[in-house]
Amino acid sequence: MIPSIEWTEENTVKMIDQTVLPFELKFLELNDYRDVAHSIKIMNIRGAPAIGVAAAMGMALATIEYKILPKKDFITSMEEAANLIQSTRPTASNLFWAVNRMLKIITSAPDDPPNISELVIEEAKIMAQEDINVNKNIGKNGAKLLADNDIVLTHCNAGSLATVQYGTALAPVRYAIEQGKRINVIADETRPRLQGARLTAYELHYDKIPVKVISDTSSGLLMRLGKINKVIVGTDRVTSDAVFNKIGTYLVALAAKDNSIPFYVAAPTSTLSLHETIKDVVIEQRDSSEVSHILGKLRIVPEGVECLNYAFDITPFKLVTGIITEDGVFTPQELLKKYK
């Protein structure tokens, strides 16, 4: 398992370029926060936790560039850097959370810019480590749900590549395997952007964890045939009545329910937004070319035919067996009681 992003000893940001996976394992090493912002925008790095850490590291790079300025100018420049980084993917909540955490240090620390830069770099490293720790605890809590010889379906990529390391939905699988359980994974390919076929398959195969890829149309049949017996997915946001995750998650949850298969959601507490309900959330619509073309390379839909491309799905709590956080495993009702 390779970290998707890290702060190097040379004070650069090193990340896997996920746009060329699984065909090439290429690393980007960036020393300009503008390049980090661009890499978030074009999805060299993706996955809410990983984006948050990338944003924090981008802010850290900016402090290195601006620490020679007088403090007032330093703060002004850092606010400009923050705006640029936040503009890259306007709906990713972790982006704002991470940048604001950095801005708070920058504007409230009594130190000089060079010392503030040290503090911000340290904070970025801490955030990366925090992410790994949260994921490991999700793994530990979730592994208790998995038995020897389980076949686990996951949708999209909520693995190591979506975080700094270890993953959210895939953490319980990794932990259970470390415990000696034999676990097989089925990866939904996850159209339109194919994060399952490309990224989940890649990272599990790389780590020698057994994985097979299926078309998104196949999960229901495999459950009927007894070839899947647990589901774990990640999430971008949990409201008081539903789980928001990659488009297609709701269909998987329906099939799990109809076949009495447990449906678990791995949710770092940073994704909980329990003051909201379904109606508060706007589902992002992305460019229709993601549907009409495969990975920007191969057209599959006739010219002139429109495509719809909603990026996220709504899975109501009635379909959710358990939510795995870094604190434990909870039914939706228990989750509301504990965190709301």
Residues that bind a copy of itself (CB under 8 A): 22-23, 186, 189-192, 194, 197-198, 201-202, 205, 211-222, 224-225, 227, 246-248, 250-251, 254-255, 258, 283, 291-292, 294-295, 297-302, 304-310, 312-314
- Looking at beta carbons only, is 44 or 292 nearer to a copy of itself? 292
Phi and psi at 36, nearest 5°, equal -65, -45
- Looking at beta carbons only, is 297 or 340 nearer to a copy of itself? 297
Token reading at 294: 């495969």
- Looking at beta carbons only, is 144 or 257 nearer to a copy of itself? 257
Helix (H, G, I), strand (E, B) or coil at 176: helix
Token reading at 69: 């300025």
Distance CA(340)–CA(166), nearest Å, equals: 27
- Looking at beta carbons only, is 147 or 301 nearer to a copy of itself? 301
Q: Report in angstroms how near the CB of residue 160 gets to a copy of itself at its nearest.
A: 15
Cα distances (angstroms) measured from residue 292 to each of 41, 199, 296? 21, 21, 9
- Looking at beta carbons only, is 144 or 293 nearer to a copy of itself? 293
* 89, 241, 250, 49: CA torsion to nearest 10: 30
Q: Report in angstroms how near the CB of residue 326 gets to a copy of itself at its nearest.
A: 28
- Annotated active-site residue 188? The verdict is no
- If one counts every other C-beta atom within 10 angstroms of the C-beta of residue 58, the result is 30
Q: Report in angstroms how near the CB of residue 19 gets to a copy of itself at its nearest.
A: 13
Distance CA(128)–CA(135), nearest Å, equals: 11
Between β-strands 27-30 and 151-154, what pairing exists: parallel, antiparallel or unpaired? unpaired
Distance CA(121)–CA(111), nearest Å, equals: 14
Please pick, among 131, 216, 236, 313, the residue that the annotation labels catalytic: 236
If you search the block for the tokens 């994974």, which residue do you land on?
185
Q: Which of 301, 276, 271 is nearest to 288 (CA)?
A: 301
- Looking at beta carbons only, is 318 or 337 nearer to a copy of itself? 318
Q: Report in angstroms how near the CB of residue 158 gets to a copy of itself at its nearest.
A: 15
- If one counts every other C-beta atom within 10 angstroms of the C-beta of residue 10, the result is 8
Name residue 127's amino acid: M
Asked if 229 and 219 count as a contact pair (C-beta separation under 8 A), the reply is: no
Q: Report in angstroms how near the CB of residue 214 gets to a copy of itself at its nearest.
A: 5
Q: Report in angstroms how near the CB of residue 170 gets to a copy of itself at its nearest.
A: 15
Q: Which residues are catalytic?
A: 236
